[in-house]
Amino acid sequence: MSSSRTQSSSSSVWQHQYMKLHFFSRIRSLFKSKASSRKRDFQSSTQISRTQQYSEKVVAPPEILSKPPEEENEEVVLQRTVKKLHFGTFEEKEKAAIEIEKLSREDKNIRKLMAELGVLQVLVSMVASDISGHQRSAVMALIQLSHGTHTNKALMVNAGICSKLPKNVEVLDQSTRYGFAELLLSLSSLTSLQLPVASSQILPFLMETMNSDTTEMKCKEICLATINNLCLVLENARPLVTNGAIKTLLSLILVKDLSEKALASLGQLVVTQMGKKAMEEGSTVPKSLIEILTWEEKPKCQEYTAYILMVLAHQSWSQREKMAKAGIVPVLLEVTLLGSPLVQKRAVKLLQWFKDERNVRMGPHSGPQTSRVSSSIGSPMSPRSGEEGKNVMKNLVKQSLYKNMEMITRRGNVDLEREACRLKSSLIISTSSKSLTY
């Protein structure tokens, strides 16, 4: 027994020493070619300085003779930093991660070098730490190392970064929370084969961050940008809907600073069967969407909203009935007059569907093109198509016309009052100018 323990301990020591030796040999080989040229330059400059010193018979101070060049100092700092990151204590690793973030920000070539030295794997393991400073320094370093290099992003994913995301967002401070969101935004540019969206902690982290009341607006914007990138991949639609992305996005569309990005993601998801069904079951649909149609100062939001409403109303009588009861027709009439050209076209198409429910024939030219599945597209056409439908539509059109007439009359009265005030002021000025002074 004692002999076996002695052998196991000696083998572990031997493996540790071998790891160190292999590590330093890799660093040495990377710097060898670069250092050799610098060494020759340094030797030539030293020889010249020595000849000058002998000729002038001046002895230089010892600190000048022993001072290495500036480039060698950078190499020494890099070597010492990587060594501390691999074999140092917790405090040394945290300081090394901060130094790596600084070096990666200043020099782009160091980002590739760090991947070859095995730095990414150590930083990813630090992300799972319970110490906030330890975790934050690792995240910030990974953000810098992910910029501009697709290889580093793939290595981070292979090292398991997606499974080491925190499960409780509330325990994170704002800077660490923002750092995680920024890192996921950088990783979201990878393909679906490289980024395991369905089997990782990415979507739960993003949803919890956006649903949290303590999350800052900038952090939510970063999360929405990440969701938008993930929505571009069709395979991600199912895990997004399953993790409650539709409900989260619908809760953010009325926030004007976040509305455009949230609506863009909803527009990508609503064309899928699961996404459309989830939106049809939303309690705020279609009232919140109709409200956004009235935002004249947000034309892009109006365009996204009109597109989403077209998809929901396509071959779905129940959705059109809900929209009509919510008062969409007067809003559409106003949009056709005051909206952008694109939203005007979409509003006119929707008005055509509401004009006469009996004669609507949903063909390939009507509405956006989605896959035709009878059970998942929406509700079937209503059998009620009589005088009652005509009367309802006539009343809605009359109400909208009355509303528009009142608006036009009100604007006209305001213009007349302004014109009267302008004429009155001009008459007073002309009368005062013609009066004689004594």
Q: Kindly tell me if the per-residue pLDDT of 403 is higher than 90.
A: no
Residue ending a domain, among 130, 164, 198, is 164
Q: Kindly tell me if the per-residue pLDDT of 251 is higher than 80.
A: yes
Non-local (6+) Cβ contacts of 35 within 8 A are 72, 75
Region 270-289 average pLDDT: 93
Domain assignment of residue 196, yes or no = yes
Region 177-181 average pLDDT: 95
Same domain, residue pair 125 and 183: no
pLDDT of residue 434: 42
Region 368-384 average pLDDT: 43
Residue ending a domain, among 258, 281, 304, is 281
Which of 45-49, 126-130, 347-351, 418-422 ranks highest by mean pLDDT? 347-351
pLDDT of residue 51: 43
pLDDT of residue 437: 40
Confidence of residue 179 (pLDDT cuts 50, 70, 90): very high
pLDDT of residue 41: 52
Can you give the residue range of the structural domain that contains 307?
285-360
Domain assignment of residue 27, yes or no = no
Non-local (6+) Cβ contacts of 97 within 8 A are 85, 123, 126, 137, 138, 140, 141
Region 411-415 average pLDDT: 58
Same domain, residue pair 254 and 226: yes
Report which residue type is found at 13.
Answer: V
Domain assignment of residue 169, yes or no = no
Q: Kindly tell me if the per-residue pLDDT of 4 is higher than 70.
A: no
Confidence of residue 380 (pLDDT cuts 50, 70, 90): very low
Confidence of residue 60 (pLDDT cuts 50, 70, 90): very low
Domain assignment of residue 151, yes or no = yes
Domain assignment of residue 117, yes or no = yes
Same domain, residue pair 183 and 276: yes
Distance between CA atoms of residues 53 and 118, nearest Å: 46
* Least confident residue range of 226-230, 297-301, 430-434: 430-434
Confidence of residue 73 (pLDDT cuts 50, 70, 90): low
pLDDT of residue 400: 63
Domain assignment of residue 23, yes or no = no
Same domain, residue pair 85 and 118: yes
Domain assignment of residue 408, yes or no = no
Same domain, residue pair 244 and 316: no
pLDDT of residue 105: 86
Same domain, residue pair 206 and 136: no
Same domain, residue pair 112 and 140: yes
Region 341-354 average pLDDT: 92
* Least confident residue range of 196-200, 230-234, 347-351: 196-200
Same domain, residue pair 152 and 204: no
Region 44-52 average pLDDT: 49
Mean pLDDT computed over every residue of the chain: 77
pLDDT of residue 326: 92
Distance between CA atoms of residues 97 and 92, nearest Å: 9
Q: 3-class secondary structure for the chain?
A: CHHHHHHHHHHHHHHHHHHHHHHHHHHHHHHHHHHHHHHHHHHHHHHHHHHHHHHHCCCCCHHHHCCCCHHHHHHHHHHHHHHHHHHCCHHHHHHHHHHHHHHHHHCCHHHHHHHHCCHHHHHHHHHCCCCHHHHHHHHHHHHHHHCCCHHHHHHHHHCCHHHCCCCCHHHCCHHHHHHHHHHHHHHCCCCCCCCCCCCCCHHHHHHHHHHCCCCCHHHHHHHHHHHHHHHCCHHHHHHHHHCCHHHHHHHHCCCCCCHHHHHHHHHHHCCCHHHHHHHHCCCCCCHHHHHHCCCCCCHHHHHHHHHHHHHHHCCCHHHHHHHHHCCHHHHHHHHHHHCCHHHHHHHHHHHHHHHCCCCCCCCCCCCCCCCCCCCCCCCCCCCCCCHHHHHHHHHHHHHHHHHHHHHHHHHHHHHHHHHHHHHHHHHHHHHHHHCCCC
Closest CA to 353 of 376, 384, 323: 323
Region 27-35 average pLDDT: 53
Same domain, residue pair 270 and 206: yes
Q: Kindly tell me if the per-residue pLDDT of 263 is higher than 80.
A: yes
Distance between CA atoms of residues 92 and 108, nearest Å: 24
Q: Which backbone phi and psi does 296 adopt, to 5 degrees?
A: -65, -25
Same domain, residue pair 210 and 267: yes
Domain assignment of residue 335, yes or no = yes
CATH number of the domain within which 95 lies: 1.25.10.10
Same domain, residue pair 108 and 160: yes
Region 156-165 average pLDDT: 92
Same domain, residue pair 243 and 291: no
Q: What does the pLDDT look like over 317-332, one tens digit per residue?
A: 889 989 999 999 999 9
pTM for the full predicted model: 0.68
Confidence of residue 315 (pLDDT cuts 50, 70, 90): confident
Total domains in the fold of the chain: 3
